[in-house]
């Protein structure tokens, strides 16, 4: 028998309550602030070097080298970004179990699942892209159906297949998951856009809260998992 899902507002309140406890708040502030700080540094570097016409005297072989360097940098950034996502998911898992330790505790566990998580992202991306090529709506359906796949890849046993498990959890509850996604957009993305319009600094400050909303969506996943019909 399938149990009733928890209302999204209750899950959001739970996420904030867990994140701002004395034990967890510093970790969540760091997780939210580090990406914003890196983004500001990168933006400053790009703005600085854009003042110089670096390509004016560059020979053909140097351009090829720059392209190769750019591709390698893209691979490294993709890996680091996936590792950071895995780190966040490991932290969310520990937070919901109320045993969050120092962030460094989760560096190695996150590294162990990084490749698995990256392959899951690639697989979901391919399926979703093909779906969008088929008149958009199939792409939306696939994106929602496989929305939990990255979380499953990062925190569940490797024997669990992320794509199939996500599809099982969402089956019969597609619109409930869509509603919880819209809820997230309404309470995080829209305020972020408004604050960035007022002043970029306001948007940056609000973006520091992103791990809390990430925790909310992890709670959504746990709720779907805990209330799913067990098949035998």
How many domains are there within the chain? 1
pLDDT at 207 > cutoff 90:
yes
Average pLDDT, the chain: 90
Residue 93 pLDDT more than 80?
Answer: yes
**The overall pTM is greater than 0.85:** yes
Is residue 96 domain-resident? yes
Predicted confidence (pLDDT) at residue 59 exceeds the cutoff of 90: no
pLDDT of residue 24: 95
Among residues 67, 166, 168, the alpha carbon closest in space to that of 120 is found at 166
Domain extent, residue 104, equals 9-35+59-227
Instruction: Tell the burial category of 26 from Cβ atoms under 10 Å away from its Cβ (0-12, 13-18, 19+).
Output: exposed
Residue 172 lies in a domain: yes
> Which structure tokens are listed for 141?
């359906």
Cβ pair 147, 177 in contact under 8 A: yes
How far is residue 98 from each of residues 47, 94, 95, 184, 201, measured CA to CA in Å? 43, 6, 5, 23, 32
What is the number of helices (H) and of strands (E) in the chain?
11, 0
Residue 55 confidence (pLDDT) above 60: no
CA distance 12 to 175: 18
Would 1 be classed as within a structural domain?
A: no
Least confident of 58-62, 86-90, 202-206: 58-62
pLDDT at 28 over 80: yes
pLDDT given at position 195: 96
- Going by pLDDT thresholds of 50, 70 and 90, the confidence category of residue 175 is very high
CA dihedral of 171, 131, 185, 14, whole degrees rounded to 10: 30
What pLDDT is attached to residue 229? 74
Q: What percent of the chain has pLDDT over 90?
A: 74
pLDDT of residue 45: 80
In-domain check, residue 67: yes
Range in 27-31, 53-57, 59-63, 227-231 the model is least confident about: 53-57
Per-residue pLDDT band for 215 (boundaries 50, 70, 90) equals very high
- Any domain includes 52: no
Residue 230 confidence (pLDDT): 67
| 117 part of a folded domain | yes
pLDDT tens for 103-143 read 999 999 999 999 999 999 999 999 999 988 887 888 899 99
pLDDT of residue 60: 62
Report if residue 109 sits inside a domain.
Answer: yes
| 44 within domain boundaries | no
């Amino acid at each position: 028998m399938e149990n009733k899902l928890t209302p999204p507002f209750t899950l959001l309140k739970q996420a904030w309550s867990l994140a701002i406890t004395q034990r967890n708040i510093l970790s969540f502030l760091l997780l939210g602030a580090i990406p914003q700080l890196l983004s500001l540094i990168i933006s400053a570097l790009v703005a600085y070097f854009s003042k110089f016409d670096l390509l004016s005297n560059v020979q053909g072989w140097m351009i090829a080298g720059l392209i190769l360097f750019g591709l390698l940098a893209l691979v490294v950034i993709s890996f680091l970004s996936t590792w950071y996502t895995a780190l966040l998911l490991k932290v969310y898992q520990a937070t919901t179990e109320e045993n969050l330790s120092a962030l460094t505790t989760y560096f190695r566990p996150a590294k162990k699942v990084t490749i698995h998580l990256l392959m899951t992202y690639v697989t979901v991306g391919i399926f979703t892209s093909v779906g969008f090529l088929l008149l958009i709506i199939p792409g939306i359906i696939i994106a929602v159906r496989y929305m939990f796949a990255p979380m499953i890849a990062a925190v569940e046993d490797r024997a669990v297949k992320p794509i199939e498990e996500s599809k099982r959890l969402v089956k019969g509850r597609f619109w409930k998951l869509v509603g919880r996604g819209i809820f997230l957009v309404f309470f995080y993305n829209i305020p972020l856009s408004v604050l960035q319009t007022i002043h970029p600094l306001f948007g940056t400050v609000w973006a520091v809260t992103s791990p809390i909303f990430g925790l909310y969506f992890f709670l959504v996943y746990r709720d779907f998992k805990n209330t799913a019909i067990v098949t035998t």
